Amino acid sequence: MNPPDENILVIKRELFDQLGAFQGLNFEPDRYLSSILSRGNNFFLPRGKAENDPSHKQIIPYVLIAHEDKVLHYVRGKKAGEQRLVAKGSIGIGGHLNDTDESLFAWNEAAYRAGVEREVTEEIRIGAPFADKIVALLNDDSTEVGRVHLGVVHVFQLEQPKVEKREAVITNLSFLSKEELVASKEMLENWSQLCVDALDRLLSA
């Protein structure tokens, strides 16, 4: 299945290397985001090209939906846009930022967060107030998917565990404890496995 026909936000892999490439999670997101979100450093590529071009990194908000010490878990259905992740469990909500989102042309963090919230609300409906915090960046060059993506890890801390799905590809929504997530870790996509390994730090950042 071909990726959807859209233009998505990318940076050059060269910029990531200059800023300090890493494997796994990096808990100094501010060190990278001012450069990544600068209009001079990011631009749009057709998704079909970007998905197979490791000389660029697609910027992907990866949002953990939390209530107290539990995190929302779901399974990606068969119609998911990223076929390489179908049937995998995940604790990250979010997706590509495309050129229909005007917030991408603003430099300030508030505008970026608003764009991220719009991406999230395409997939789920959050029925409670929440705080949004960027806690880490995520890079995994060990997989085909990971080599062309760079995750910006957010935590949405909800006042109440009220979430419903909006998209059919989101299935089996439930809030799980760290112990439950560890027990099912092998069924999770790679990015979620990395987040589960550092869950205490992510939720307390």
* pLDDT means over runs of 10, the chain (205 residues): 71 97 97 88 91 95 97 79 64 84 57 80 94 96 93 97 92 96 94 97 95
**pLDDT score recorded for residue 5:** 73
**pLDDT score recorded for residue 9:** 86
**pLDDT score recorded for residue 86:** 53
User: What is the residue extent of each domain of the chain?
Assistant: 7-204
Sign of the alpha-carbon torsion through 138, 142, 146, 147: positive
**pLDDT score recorded for residue 106:** 45
Q: Which two tokens stand for residue 20?
A: 């300090």
Buried b (16+ CB within 10 A) or exposed e, 146-161: bebbbbbbbbbebeee
Is pTM beyond 0.75 here?
yes
For residue 35, which phi and psi values (nearest 5 degrees)?
A: -80, -45
**pLDDT score recorded for residue 112:** 74
**pLDDT score recorded for residue 4:** 58
**DSSP SS3 for 144:** coil
**pLDDT score recorded for residue 18:** 97
- Pair 131, 63: CB distance under 8 Å: no
Q: Which two tokens stand for residue 16?
A: 């990531």
Q: Return the bridge partners of 98, or none.
A: 8
Q: Return the bridge partners of 59, or none.
A: 150
What CATH number should be reported for the domain whose range is 7-204?
3.90.79.10
